[in-house]
Structure 1
Amino acid sequence: MKFKKTFLLLFIIPFLSFTAHKNYLSLTQINYKSESKSIQIVINVFMDDIETALNSDYKINLQLTTKNEFKNNDSYFKRYLKEKIHFKVDNIPKEFKYIGKEYDGDLVYFYLEIENINQLKTIDLTNNILTKHFPEQQNLTKCKLGDKHKSILLTKKENLAKFKYE
């Protein structure tokens, strides 16, 4: 009897106290291309997280990667991204162009571009992707200008990335 209690205390109860914890992380990659005078942006998020956010915010049922997936889901993605991320180049607000998206496993990749950028010294990004629905959300941002690479981890409270290349 004592052995059973000891076994229960030492081996079984610790396993019951652990719960699965989901990571909430997106990646935004910003790359200035001097030859095309544009800033190219790739954002990847987990498909189920973005689907949850859009379904809740817009009262829809996207059903991504199913036969019932909305045919016009790009309009919802574009709207969401325009509401949640904002760029400034050299302290001037800049609108991005939504190029499109693609699915890869459980990720969605969004492709954006800011055109007509002859040169730049600073890029500011405000990123609130998924933070409304997932308070633990972290948005890793990587920026590349020439051979200079910088990274900043953003959160719900700290949602502004400033990249300086002077």
Structure 2
Amino acid sequence: MKFKQVFFLLITLPLLSFTLHKYYVSMCEIEYVQEQKSVQITLGLFIDDIEDTLDKDLNTVTNLATTSEIKNVDTLYYNYLKKHFNLTINNTVKNFTYIGKEYDDDIVRFYLEIENIEQLQQLEIKNTCLFNYFEEQQNIIKIKVKDYHKTFYLTKNNDKGLLKL
């Protein structure tokens, strides 16, 4: 009987540790499309993390990705991203156009674009999304310019990445 209990604990404890541990990661893909002279951005955040953040920042209940979602959610998203996601292209701070968002299971994907970029020589990314409330948050940035690929892993202590071509 003792062997069965020990065996059960050895099997279930590792499984519980995986289910109890929460990962705080976002993924951002940035691509410069030269033919369109635009920088196209897809940024994915976990819905529960951005919901917690917006609810705390705004002292409200957003109910993201539900039938009772707050009506002005796109404005809230845009304002949050404008404050926490910044791009400097060729030494000039650029504002992005918020194209929209879509919910995909437990992730919200934001679609952003910066137009009229004739040439991309340098790209600086500052991404502080979710850093205020999630100490272990990591923001992964993948950049594609022509055949060149670069990945940055941003944290609260290192929130910027710089690409020079």
Q: Work out whether the TM-score is over 0.5.
A: yes
Within 2, Cα distance between the matches of 1:52 and 1:95? Answer: 25
Question: Tell me, what secondary structure is at the counterpart of 1:35?
Answer: helix
More displaced, 11-20 or 26-35? Answer: 11-20
TM-score by length of 2: 0.90
RMSD: 1.7
Cross-structure match for 1:154: 154
Aligned 1:58-137 pairs, distance under 5 A:
58-137=58-137
Question: Tell me, what secondary structure is at the counterpart of 2:100?
Answer: strand
How many percent of aligned residue pairs carry the same amino acid? 42
- What is the CA distance between 1:12 and its match in structure 2? 3.1
Unpaired segments ≥5 residues, structure 2: none
Within 2, Cα distance between the matches of 1:16 and 1:139? Answer: 29
Question: Tell me, what secondary structure is at the counterpart of 1:63?
Answer: coil
Q: Does 1:57 align with 2:54?
A: no
Cross-structure match for 1:25: 25
Q: Deviations over 1:44-99 (max 9, x none)?
A: 01111111111111112110122211121000000000010111001111111111
Residue-pair matches, total: 162
TM-score by length of 1: 0.90
Unpaired segments ≥5 residues, structure 1: none
Match of 1:12 among 9, 34, 39: 9
Question: Tell me, what secondary structure is at the counterpart of 2:86?
Answer: strand
Q: Deviations over 1:15-62 (max 9, x none)?
A: 558632111110111100111111000000111111111111111211
Within 2, Cα distance between the matches of 1:59 and 1:13? Answer: 43
